[in-house]
């Protein structure tokens, strides 16, 4: 059957046409979910907003009530679906990729879609990339589950869905690929890289077809900076690193402080805080696009930009910290642009008469992204793609490296996603051995040359062994003992009699990886497993010994 052949092919840790086509398919499914998500937000915002994500034109009462009503609806939908813990977005996806091969729970995803849409429609300071990553991973997980693909292929396809999700959200396919490798999978392997790249391109093209080719930073004009700016850029990078550390620390402080409260009161508190900010500083509402627009239109108004920055910082910290189901990257981009535009006020003394506010706004975004997420390469590629300006590369590299090193070395800052995972007690770390073995399906290494005998009669077992090639394993089955590996015990043989020895066999699904087999056999560091067909557990497909797994770890590990 062609589907069975496909599963066997995907069990190998190699780039293949089949895996690439599945990556494109996962990208299309992810793009469909994210386009639907974005269209839902735009449709409802168009009912009461003149411009998407701009809440300043709303009457005060509507502006104040919207976050409260949205928080109540998010809590009610969670209660209706039996969802008690807001473990959503990028941190949760990292956990599922590392420990569950990217399999995503459906109820969890429903809450991400509905809750994320409500939050963005009503003006909470959250981003759409968190839901996009979650929805993209779910789309890929559904595809892999329906086709009963090996878990190593499911893991790769989940990465494809995430890349397509980010590309479809920001129209940045290259940055999406780097983000998946740097932040989610945290490794670079060619056989994973190629299908993820194709999925990102698919997601970006699908988004361009529906929403056009515009980018988040299309409004910003980039001016080249002379070398005289570089010392000041180093200072800016150091400041951004300190701000990123402070942002992460305060976000975790809010999360820890409100942990004793159940989800319902936490969400209502978040709604009240958002309503208060909506009443006083409506420019701070939304995902961050409105803040970018204001920074572009009024770069000289220091008082206004500072007010929006403080309000948006508080709005973001409390929305994310209290469990509003949205992303972090969108608001961080808005905050970074505001900070960079403020820094440009002093940089104007270096280049009088030159409009450099836009350039510094982009550099502020790059530095804050890199230091907050611990993703310097993803931040650099994001800037390159969103601005399409080669002049920004060298200044961006200066700011990003300085901000990243300052946050890491001076303050001991860690990725905000990993801090959230540690607090939620969601494991994401795996040993190097497990990580290598996760890339290989058991179907790729199992021994299919075996004999299966349904009998516990010793004489019949001996006769079968005598008639077989000594290199061919014999699996015997009886109701009392289950599946066992039968062989002659050479250490106890005598002239008068030959003795049989048995090795008990545990079963493992054909969908499993060598990491699952390693976990079953690791305690004894010996023995074997029988591989059964996922769709028919009575069909034995092969035999897998501990020695085979040990050989891969000691000889072939570097290739994986």
Choose the final residue of a domain: 216, 244, 262: 216
Backbone φ, ψ for residue 532 (5° rounding): -105, 155
Number of structural domains, the chain?
Answer: 3
Note whether 509 and 360 are same-domain residues: no
Note whether 405 and 460 are same-domain residues: no
In a domain, residue 513? The reply is yes
Give me 281's structure tokens.
Answer: 């500083």
In a domain, residue 433? The reply is no
Terminus-to-terminus CA distance in the chain, angstroms? Answer: 28
pLDDT of the residue at 338:
94
As a whole number of angstroms, the distance between CA 517 and CA 552 comes to 12
| C-beta of residue 321 within 8 angstroms of C-beta of residue 115 | no
Burial of 486 (0-12, 13-18, 19+ CB in 10 A): buried
CB atoms under 10 Å from CB of 276, counted, come to 16
In a domain, residue 103? The reply is yes
pLDDT of the residue at 289:
79
In a domain, residue 429? The reply is no
Q: Classify the C-alpha dihedral 92-326-184-548 as positive or negative.
A: positive
* Nearest 10 degrees: Cα torsion 412, 416, 420, 423: 10
Provide the 3-class DSSP secondary structure of residue 543: strand
In a domain, residue 164? The reply is yes
Note whether 187 and 57 are same-domain residues: yes
pLDDT of the residue at 85:
65
In a domain, residue 168? The reply is yes
Choose the final residue of a domain: 193, 216, 239: 216
Note whether 202 and 263 are same-domain residues: no
In a domain, residue 431? The reply is no
pLDDT of the residue at 211:
87
In a domain, residue 518? The reply is yes
Relative to beta strand 500-509, strand 451-453 is unpaired
Residues in the chain: 560
pLDDT of the residue at 461:
84
| C-beta of residue 380 within 8 angstroms of C-beta of residue 211 | no
Residue with token string 């004489």: 459
The DSSP result for 207-247, as a single string, is HHHHH-S--TTTT-------GGGHHHHHHHHHHHHHHHHHH
As a whole number of angstroms, the distance between CA 197 and CA 174 comes to 8
Residue among 354, 369, 382 nearest 237 (CA) = 369
As a whole number of angstroms, the distance between CA 160 and CA 139 comes to 10
CA atoms within 13 A on the CB side of 87: 20
As a whole number of angstroms, the distance between CA 454 and CA 85 comes to 49
Note whether 281 and 243 are same-domain residues: yes
Q: What is the pTM of this model?
A: 0.89
pLDDT of the residue at 84:
67
> Could you tell me which residues come within 8 angstroms of residue 256 by beta carbon, excluding any fewer than 6 positions away?
423
Note whether 281 and 406 are same-domain residues: yes
> Could you tell me which residues come within 8 angstroms of residue 495 by beta carbon, excluding any fewer than 6 positions away?
none
Note whether 472 and 414 are same-domain residues: no
Note whether 377 and 302 are same-domain residues: yes
Give me 295's structure tokens.
Answer: 């920074």
Note whether 177 and 94 are same-domain residues: yes
Note whether 158 and 202 are same-domain residues: yes
Provide the 3-class DSSP secondary structure of residue 167: helix
Tens digit of pLDDT at every position of the chain (560 positions): 788 888 889 898 888 899 999 999 999 999 999 999 999 999 999 998 888 888 988 999 999 999 999 999 999 998 888 776 667 789 999 999 998 999 998 888 888 999 999 999 999 999 988 899 999 999 999 999 999 999 999 999 999 999 999 998 888 899 999 999 988 888 877 788 899 999 999 999 998 899 887 766 667 888 888 889 999 999 999 999 999 999 999 999 999 999 898 888 999 999 999 999 999 999 999 887 778 888 888 888 899 999 999 999 999 999 999 999 989 999 999 999 999 999 998 888 888 877 888 899 999 999 999 999 999 999 999 998 888 888 899 999 999 999 999 999 999 999 999 999 999 888 888 888 888 899 899 998 898 888 888 888 888 888 888 888 778 888 888 888 888 888 887 665 554 456 888 888 889 999 999 999 999 988 888 888 999 988 877 788 989 988 888 888 887 655 55
Residue 491 structural domain: 439-559
As a whole number of angstroms, the distance between CA 230 and CA 238 comes to 13
Note whether 178 and 314 are same-domain residues: no
Choose the final residue of a domain: 185, 216, 247: 216
Q: What is the CATH number of the domain that holds 497?
A: 3.10.580.10
SS (H, E, C) 287-337: CCHHHHHHHHHCCCCHHHHHHHHHHHHHHHHHHHHCCCCCECHHHHHHHHH
CB atoms under 10 Å from CB of 92, counted, come to 26
Q: What is the CATH number of the domain that holds 318?
A: 1.10.3080.10
Give me 177's structure tokens.
Answer: 């690929």
Backbone φ, ψ for residue 287 (5° rounding): -75, -20
Note whether 35 and 178 are same-domain residues: yes
């Amino acid at each position: 059957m062609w589907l069975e052949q496909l599963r066997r092919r995907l069990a190998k840790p190699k780039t293949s046409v089949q895996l690439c086509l599945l990556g494109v398919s996962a990208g299309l499914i992810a793009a469909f979910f994210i386009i639907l998500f974005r269209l839902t937000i735009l449709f409802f915002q168009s009912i009461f907003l003149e411009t998407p994500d701009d809440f300043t034109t709303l009457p005060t009462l509507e502006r104040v009530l919207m976050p409260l009503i949205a928080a109540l609806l998010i809590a009610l939908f969670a209660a209706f679906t039996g969802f008690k813990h807001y473990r959503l977005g990028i941190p949760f996806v990292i956990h599922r990729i590392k420990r569950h091969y990217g399999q995503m729970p459906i109820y969890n995803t429903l809450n991400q879609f509905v809750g994320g849409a409500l939050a963005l429609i009503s003006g909470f300071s959250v981003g759409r990339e968190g839901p996009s990553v979650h929805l993209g991973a779910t789309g890929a997980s559904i595809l892999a589950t329906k086709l009963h693909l090996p878990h190593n292929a499911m893991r790769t396809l989940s990465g494809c869905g995430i890349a397509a999700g980010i590309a479809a959200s920001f129209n940045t396919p290259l940055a999406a690929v780097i983000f998946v490798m740097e932040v989610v999978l945290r490794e670079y392997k060619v056989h994973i890289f190629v299908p993820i790249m194709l999925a990102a391109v698919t997601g970006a093209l699908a988004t361009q077809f529906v929403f056009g080719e515009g980018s988040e930073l299309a409004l910003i004009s980039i001016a080249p900076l002379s070398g005289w700016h570089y010392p000041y850029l180093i200072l800016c990078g150091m400041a951004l690193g300190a701000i990123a550390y402070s942002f992460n620390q305060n976000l975790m402080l809010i999360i820890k402080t409100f942990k004793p409260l159940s989800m319902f009161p936490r969400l209502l508190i978040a709604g009240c805080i958002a309503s208060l900010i909506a009443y006083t500083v409506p420019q701070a509402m939304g995902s961050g696009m409105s803040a970018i627009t204001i920074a572009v239109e009024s770069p000289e108004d220091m008082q206004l930009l500072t007010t929006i920055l403080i309000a948006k910082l508080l709005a973001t910290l409390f929305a994310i910290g209290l469990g509003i189901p949205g992303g972090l990257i969108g608001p961080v981009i808005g905050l970074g642009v505001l900070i960079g535009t403020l820094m440009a006020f002093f940089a104007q003394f270096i280049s009088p008469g030159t409009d450099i506010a836009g350039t510094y706004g982009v550099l502020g975004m790059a530095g804050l992204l890199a230091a907050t997420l611990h993703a310097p390469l993803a931040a650099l590629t994001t800037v390159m793609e969103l601005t399409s300006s080669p002049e920004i590369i060298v200044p961006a590299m200066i700011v990003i490296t300085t901000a990243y090193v300052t946050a890491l070395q001076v303050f001991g800052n860690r990725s905000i996603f990993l801090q959230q995972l540690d607090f939620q007690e969601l494991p994401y770390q795996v040993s190097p051995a497990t990580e290598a073995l996760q890339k290989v399906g058991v179907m790729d290494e199992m021994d299919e040359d075996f004999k299966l005998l349904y009998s516990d009669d010793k004489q019949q077992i001996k006769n079968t062994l005598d008639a077989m090639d000594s290199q061919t394993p014999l699996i015997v089955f009886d109701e009392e003992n289950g599946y066992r590996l039968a062989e002659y015990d050479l250490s106890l043989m005598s002239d008068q009699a030959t003795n049989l020895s048995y090795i008990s066999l545990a079963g493992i699904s054909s969908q499993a990886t060598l990491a699952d087999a390693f976990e079953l056999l690791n305690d004894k560091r010996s023995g074997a497993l029988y591989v059964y067909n996922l769709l028919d557990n009575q069909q034995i497909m092969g035999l897998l010994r501990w020695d085979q797994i040990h050989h891969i770890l000691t000889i072939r590990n570097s290739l994986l």
